[in-house]
Amino acid sequence: MTSHTPVSDQLFDRARTLMPGGVNSPVRAFGSVGGTPKFMVSAQGPYLTDADGRQYVDLVCSWGPALLGHAHPAVLEAVHAAVDRGLSFGASTPDEANLAAIVKERVSAVERIRMVSTGTEATMTAVRLARGFTGRNLIVKFAGCYHGHLDGLLASAGSGLATMALPGSAGVTEAAAAETLVLPYNDLDALEAAFAAHGDKIAAVITEAAPANMGVVTPNEGFNAGLSRITREHGALLILDEVLTGFRTGYAGYWGLSGRQEGWVPDLLTFGKVIGGGMPTAALGGRADVMDYLAPLGPVYQAGTLSGNPVAMAAGVATLTHATPEVYSYVDTRSTELSTALSAALDAAGVDHSIQRAGNLFSVAFGTSANGVHNYADAQAQEVFRYAPFFHSMLESGVYLPPSVFEAWFLSSAHDDAAMNRILDALPAAAKAAAE
Ligand code: PLP
């Protein structure tokens, strides 16, 4: 069986005449791995089915949201019930507060929350709010961290920009770029130096709770705590971006795995992906005194026609209700099982690599065993060319991986023995392909 399937080819040819690159989000175009993207027509549990009727074990999980697997019966039931009541009311609904209460109960750093529709909107609003609250303009971000496609945070942004080897995006004004300081990840000295030079102008430091858009990078011991301490010393805010890690790496997100025990609390957090269970919902939350700077209470404006959409809220409530501690320990176990098997297969094929981990998120970085990957420069220095043959071999074997080495692998509570066995069986041939 080849990895090029006729119906997907036809659909891609048509899509390319209608949409830039034939896609609505760049990494879907398979640019860095080559070949024709698969067009998916349905998803169930750990599986995706393409337009040619071929089934794949899914290790993308919609780029994170499908923690419970696709089409989880309880989530579908809640969505169907919500749809029957109407799609959007443009007014407040009971489930907005239900989802807010669930988030607040799980993540004690969240005293107030606002629902938005995408992760980009959440970080964009958090940045505006930090500026409005502090009266300062500069934002610090770390190279390789992705926070969505807002102008000011697209410099050295990881994710699709890493995949396409772009330093930033055209169309971002110099003025917008000049208000962002980009520092190397895992380097508190660089942050101290930035605050020494510009401290009274820095509104916020934004960081991924654990980076997963330059491949996965483990925060050094004490790094996030250091960000909290330094921002506090200088009257700036810490924005912890948990769009990807939130409710995926643990019951209370990555902060719940680390920061809460270490005794530091972010000022603002952003969520997306799992919080909407596959529907377009994201959120920002945090300190009440900061959050209350948002309109209608405060002077920082933010709004959304579809914010708190009732169908999306129903999906979020059902998803988080079923994302129990047992779900997280199951996904953690599967993640360890898969990453161990991946490493063993690459070792057997003689492929130098490191497995990058943060909670149950992991990715592979080729040619990096000597030092691992601690920042964006390390990630970019890896042997990227090994990923395309690895990816296509897995695809041939019916396993759908992220089409870029700079993305995390996502598992779900629906990845049962049958799905895992298909992945494990596919690894040796893919490792050999990566060796060549
Ligand atoms: N922040 C992080 C850490 C992300 O991984 C992403 C998306 O992958 C975003 C923000 C942006 O979210 P969205 O794609 O929903 O705009």
DSSP letter string, 22-53 = G-SSGGGG-TTT-SPPPPEEEEEBTEEEETTS
Note whether 299 and 380 are same-domain residues. Answer: no
Note whether 396 and 364 are same-domain residues. Answer: yes
Q: How far is the CA of 294 from the centre of ligand 1 (A)?
A: 21
146 is catalytic: yes
273 is catalytic: yes
Virtual CA dihedral for 409, 412, 415, 416, nearest 10 degrees?
140
* Domain assignment of residue 221, yes or no: yes
**Does ligand 1 lie within 6 Å of residue 285's CB atom?**
no
Enter the tokens of residue 314.
Answer: 């129903």
* Domain assignment of residue 1, yes or no: no
Which atom from ligand 1 is nearest to the alpha carbon of 25?
14
Separation between Cα atoms, residue 303 and residue 295, nearest integer Å: 8
**Does ligand 1 lie within 6 Å of residue 118's CB atom?**
yes
Q: What is the pLDDT of residue 1?
A: 46
Q: What are the CA-CA distances from residue 392 to residues 34, 129, 388, 415, 430 (Å)?
A: 9, 43, 6, 21, 8
301 is catalytic: no
Q: What is the pLDDT of residue 168?
A: 80
* Domain assignment of residue 24, yes or no: yes
Q: How far is the CA of 312 from the centre of ligand 1 (A)?
A: 17
Q: Which of 322, 337, 355 is the last residue of a domain?
A: 322
Note whether 346 and 314 are same-domain residues. Answer: no
Note whether 239 and 347 are same-domain residues. Answer: no
Cross-strand pairs, 242: 271
**Does ligand 1 lie within 6 Å of residue 208's CB atom?**
yes
Q: What is the CATH number of the domain that holds 404?
A: 3.90.1150.10
Burial of 382: CB neighbours in 10 Å, binned 0-12, 13-18, 19+: buried
Note whether 141 and 290 are same-domain residues. Answer: yes
Note whether 146 and 253 are same-domain residues. Answer: yes
Map 117-163 to HEC letters: CCHHHHHHHHHHHHHHHHCCCEEEEECCCCCCCCHHHCCCCCHHHHH
**Does ligand 1 lie within 6 Å of residue 272's CB atom?**
yes
* DSSP H/E element including 268: strand 268-271
- 241, 267, 378, 387: the active-site residue: 241
Q: How far is the CA of 244 from the centre of ligand 1 (A)?
A: 6
What value of ipTM does the predicted structure carry?
A: 0.99
| Domain enclosing residue 307, as ranges | 73-322
Question: In percent, how much of the chain has pLDDT > 70?
Answer: 99
Q: Among 46, 43, 51, 35, which residue's Cα sits nearest to residue 392?
A: 35
Q: Looking at ligand 1, which residue's alpha carbon is closest to its atom 7?
A: 148
Note whether 312 and 256 are same-domain residues. Answer: yes
Enter the tokens of residue 216.
Answer: 């996965």
Q: What are the CA-CA distances from residue 81 to residues 42, 50, 213, 314 (Å)?
A: 21, 28, 35, 9
Which segments of the chain have a pLDDT < 50?
1-2
**Does ligand 1 lie within 6 Å of residue 123's CB atom?**
yes
Separation between Cα atoms, residue 165 and residue 285, nearest integer Å: 32
Note whether 228 and 353 are same-domain residues. Answer: no
**Does ligand 1 lie within 6 Å of residue 146's CB atom?**
yes
Q: At what angle do helices 310-322 and 94-106 cross, to 10 degrees?
A: 30
Q: Which of 322, 353, 368 is the last residue of a domain?
A: 322
Q: How far is the CA of 239 from the centre of ligand 1 (A)?
A: 14
* Domain assignment of residue 39, yes or no: yes
Q: Which of 282, 297, 322 is the last residue of a domain?
A: 322
Q: How many domains does the chain have?
A: 2
First to last CA, the chain: 21
- From 25, 120, 161, the mutation candidate for ligand 1 (largest count of ligand atoms within 8 A of CB) is 120
- 146, 254, 328, 330: the active-site residue: 146
Q: What is the pLDDT of residue 418?
A: 98
**Does ligand 1 lie within 6 Å of residue 243's CB atom?**
yes
**Does ligand 1 lie within 6 Å of residue 32's CB atom?**
no
CB 173 within 8 A of CB 421: no
Q: What is the pLDDT of residue 139?
A: 97
| DSSP SS3 for 90 | coil
Note whether 147 and 32 are same-domain residues. Answer: no
Note whether 413 and 425 are same-domain residues. Answer: yes
On average, the pLDDT of the chain sits at 96
Note whether 195 and 263 are same-domain residues. Answer: yes
Q: What is the CATH number of the domain that holds 301?
A: 3.40.640.10
Q: What is the pLDDT of residue 162?
A: 77
- 47, 56, 267, 273: the active-site residue: 273
Separation between Cα atoms, residue 389 and residue 431, nearest integer Å: 9
Note whether 193 and 245 are same-domain residues. Answer: yes
